[in-house]
Amino acid sequence: MACNMRTDLLISQICPTSGHVSVKRRIGNASVVRAVVVDHNTLFKDIIGSTRSLIMRRPTLPKPQLVEETDHERKGCKGKFGRFGGNFVPETLISCLSDLEAEFNLVLHDAQFQAELATALRDYVGRETPLYFAERLTNHYKKNNNGEGPDIYLKREDLNHGGAHKINNAIAQAMIAKRLGRKSVVAATGAGQHGVATAAACAKLSLQCTIFMGTKDMEKQSSNLVLMKLLGAEVKSVDGNFKDATSEAFREWVGNLESSYYLTGTVVGPHPCPSMVREFQSVIGKETRRQAMEKWGGKPDVLVACVGSGSNALGLFHEFIKEKDVRLIGVEAGGFGLESDKHSATLAKGDVGVYHGTMSYLLQDEEGQIIRPHSVGVGLEYPAVGPELSFLKDTGRAEYYSVTDKEALDACQLLCRLEGIIPSLEASHALAFLNKLCPTLPTGTKVVVNCSGRGDKDAEMILNHKYYPMEKQFPASQNL
């Protein structure tokens, strides 16, 4: 995101000299107005997270009925998916976001930009990625179900340059930043996959790159930290995890609006950010449709993807949202269990509120304060989820489930031993749900799982995790 605006004017409008500002936010059918004291030493805290002014629990509301697809993105309502989405930002940022939206709409119909992007996706990113028939994994589940069960295919996003789906969006947005004349890019990362993708895209396009990353995530994902630095990015540590890094990246961008671009990798944030990321990730589903037709002459029956904030899930789902005979299954991080306070299952346990500029489901306490998420898959540790996925939950178009840390670790090891593929722990959550899903499906059902990233970054964590004695769990000689 980028725009021309005097920073001192923005600060004066957000933090007036009186020290008070009235904030009004509508959650569901409830309207709340509060006077909030703004601490000038924690600039923009009220704008980007964890204060009562922007994060409020909704009253109990009847579940909306399934709506027609024409209502999916409400006409005339920018960035709104039913009651979700929108722009919960200072008025002075609206013009900046409007400029970004205008540029985004322009490049969607710009033949030269689209041709350059297609070339970059093919020659730099390495698309298209295979739709791989996981024969041994398929046979494993059939063997455990009296020979019955679906055919399992993996959409191999782990084979992209950088090792994840994140580069699909990063290269496109970096091209927009370059087109806008920006010299530097700011981003936040959790597992490091978006950080690596952004650093790579910036290196290719000669853009300065600053990545914010939580100290806890740096410890867990040290290999990606090294890669970001090798690619020329400046990596700044933030006490905490991804949500804290996102807040700091936003502050950095707001302090230098004239020359920097905020490159978001998630389908959250104020409009047009969720729509942009979804659009650039939708190549996953488009390829899946074409490849499925080539392989078996039809559509997938079931699509499965892990859900943190939701970029890889929407990238796979969006192409098939209108086709209600295709099941859309999102798998959240259940951590130590949904009844514990150690999970990232926002759609299962969250309530509607506003966070980082958009309305969606959030993990929050009775006072509206953010509950710190947990997952063994660092990239899933975010307390909110995209507004479009929130809408798909309320309308019933998508199904959401959760798996525990242990189930994800088991699934990761299973795929390693059966197919010789090392998935990320994030993608392993989607793979883990197959254990529950496969016994419910008839033979011949076509299931596509989004293998959204590779697990090199997680290898040490998997080997050292307390759930393993690996050789006792999966002996190398065992015929699984």
pLDDT digits (tens, 9 = 90+) for 314-363: 999 999 999 999 999 999 999 999 999 899 999 999 999 999 999 999 99
Q: Can you give the pLDDT at residue 25?
A: 34
Whether pLDDT at 17 is above 50: no
Measured between alpha carbons, how far is 99 from 422 in angstroms, rounded to an integer?
Answer: 41
Q: Name the more confident of 387 and 56.
A: 387
Mean pLDDT is lowest, of 8-12, 198-202, 217-221, 460-464, for 8-12
ω before 439 within 30° of 0 (cis)?
A: no
| pLDDT mean over 213-224 | 92
**131-162+274-464 topology per CATH:** Rossmann fold (3.40.50)
**Residue 261 contacts residue 2 (beta carbons within 8 Å):** yes
Instruction: Supply the pLDDT for residue 55.
Output: 36
Domain ranges across the chain:
89-124+166-267, 131-162+274-464
> Per-residue confidence at 95, pLDDT binned at 50, 70, 90?
confident
Which pLDDT belongs to residue 26? 34
Task: Indicate the pLDDT class of residue 96, thresholds 50, 70 and 90.
Answer: confident
Write down the pLDDT at residue 464: 76
pLDDT band at 92 (very low <50, low <70, confident <90, very high): confident
Confidence of residue 15 (pLDDT cuts 50, 70, 90): very low
Per-residue H/E/C for the chain: CCCCCCHHHHHHHHCCCCCEEEEEEEECCEEEEEEEECCHHHCCHHHHCCCCCCCCCCCCCCCCCCCCHHHCCCCCCCCEECCEECCCCCHHHHHHHHHHHHHHHHHHCCHHHHHHHHHHHHHHHCCCCCEEECHHHHHHHHHCCCCCCCEEEEEEHHHCCCCECHHHHHHHHHHHHHHCCCCEEEEEECCCHHHHHHHHHHHHHCCEEEEEEEHHHHHHCHHHHHHHHHCCCEEEEECCCHHHHHHHHHHHHHCCCCCEEECCCCCCCCCCHHHHHHHHHCHHHHHHHHHHHHHHCCCCCEEEEECCCCHHHHHHHHHHCCCCCCEEEEEEEEECCCCCCCCCCHHHHCEEEEECCEEEEECECCCCCECCCCCCCHHHCCCECCHHHHHHHHHCCEEEEEEEHHHHHHHHHHHHHHHCCCECHHHHHHHHCHHHHHHHCCCCCEEEEEECEECHHHHHHHHHCCCCCHHHHCCCCCCC
The pLDDT-based confidence of 125 (bands split at 50, 70, 90) is: very high
> Per-residue pLDDT for 145 more than 50?
yes
Return the pLDDT at 171.
98
pLDDT higher than 90, residue 254 = no
Mean pLDDT of 265-294: 97
Residue 463: per-residue pLDDT: 82
How many Cα atoms sit within 13 Å of 235 on the Cβ side? 25
Tell me which architecture the domain covering 89-124+166-267 has in CATH. 3-Layer(aba) Sandwich (3.40)
At 200, is the pLDDT very low, low, confident or very high (cuts 50, 70, 90)? Answer: very high
Residues 306 and 452: beta-carbon distance below 8 Å: yes
Given a cut of 70, whether residue 466 has pLDDT beyond it is no
Is the pLDDT higher at 50 or at 266? Answer: 266
Split at pLDDT 50, 70, 90, the class of 73 is low
Q: Identify the pLDDT of residue 3.
A: 53
pLDDT of 456 over the 50 cut: yes
pLDDT band at 256 (very low <50, low <70, confident <90, very high): confident
Query: What are the residues facing 329 on neighbouring strands?
Result: 304, 399
Dihedral of CA 266/268/273/277: which sign? positive
With a pLDDT cut of 90, the percent of the chain lying above it is: 72
- pLDDT-derived band at 257 (thresholds 50, 70, 90) equals confident
Lowest-confidence range among 195-209, 235-249, 441-455?
235-249
Question: Per-residue confidence at 31, pLDDT binned at 50, 70, 90?
Answer: very low
Model pLDDT for residues 149-171, shown as the tens digit of each residue: 999 999 999 999 999 999 999 99
What's the mean pLDDT in 424-443? 98
- Cα–Cα distance measured from residue 189 to residue 243, given in angstroms and rounded to the nearest whole number: 9
Whether 89-124+166-267 shares its CATH topology with 131-162+274-464 is answered yes
Whether pLDDT at 188 is above 90: yes
Comparing 87-96, 112-121, 174-183, the range with the smallest average pLDDT is: 87-96
Task: Kindly state the average pLDDT of the residues 422-435.
Answer: 98
pLDDT tier at 432 (50, 70, 90 boundaries)?
very high
Residue 105 is predicted with a pLDDT of 96
Q: In whole angstroms, what is the distance from residue 122 CA to residue 193 CA?
A: 19
Mean pLDDT of the chain: 85
Q: What is the pLDDT of residues 282-320, one digit of tens each?
A: 999 999 999 999 999 999 999 999 999 999 999 999 999
